Amino acid sequence: MTDLKQSYSVRLNDGHFMPVLGFGTYAPDHTPKSQAAEATKVAIDVGFRHIDSAYLYQNEEEVGQAIWEKIADGTVKREDIFYTTKLWATFLRPELVRPALESSLKKLGLDYVDLFIIHVPFAMKAGEELLPKNASGEIILETVDLCDTWEALEKCKDAGLTKSIGVSNFNHKLLELILNKPGLKYKPTCNQVECHPYLNQSKLLEFCKSKDIVLVAYSALGSQRDPQWVDPDSPHLLEEPILKSIAKKHSRSPGQVALRYQLQRGVVGLAKSFSEKRIKENFQIFDFELTPEDMKAIDGLNRNLRYDKLQFAANHPYFPFSEEY
């Protein structure tokens, strides 16, 4: 295997490097967790070096095991892998941050992660339940000062438990809250948000670039439409005729075009698939280029369509989607 470390990577504002294409490991509850392990091994075999998971996904034991098997068989070394985990909403209180990361590390069998990010800006009731609900079935939210949470992440970086720290599902106002924090030690390196041709986040991308924050795209291929989070009637991105015609012109798949689009606008794309054929296909995006006309046509597909609306948190003071960007 050639060392892909620098060639297809972006430099973060803390000096570390993030591969520009990542493998997403989230799967709906009904998917056996063992599939996450198998898919992660295939992903590493075909060339993925950036692996994205989270405490919420409840698959870190399997993903960690896959990484270790690939280290054991000589495919990669630990330092070749860029591994991301996320701080779930029930652990945003500052005193819970480090124990949450340590819990992920223990499951993974790793002594550090490459990136630790705040999964969502709004806190849920602290405790072991992933989605704490009241008697009427509504998720119980609470307010934790994000600046306090951020300080706890900074301490995790100083302790060597993570190389880099960042956020997810933040709008520009929430990013400013952190950036303007008195005594800020480290800026967020990235903001991971839903981003695809139907929701291209051009304003947020421009803002992030101006602050030297990398935008990382989840649902870059549309969404896997987990009914727990996503409306089953939402349109299928990969069926989009314009994507299909551009794909046909380049003898590529619509998914490859959607990922290449992100790459060319300076966005790090996450590709989630548990199918061996598509995992391979999703990595083959470094040997073709979209023309300026292609890029413009794809830009024109933007319709601010959000698959993952997080509507249950709409009344929270840190709800991220009431702002334009």
Annotated binding site for substrate: 119
Residues with catalytic annotation? 57
From residue 207, alpha-carbon distances to 53, 201, 204, 261, 311 in Å are 25, 10, 5, 19, 24
Q: Are 197 and 301 in contact (CB under 8 A)?
A: yes
Q: Are 254 and 202 in contact (CB under 8 A)?
A: no
Pairing outcome for strands 162-168 and 113-118: parallel
**CA angle centred on 72, ends 67 and 73, rounded to 5°:** 100
Dist CA 46 CA 105 (whole Å): 25
Dist CA 256 CA 83 (whole Å): 22
Partners of 217 in the beta sheet? 193, 269
Cβ neighbours of 7 (radius 10 Å): 10
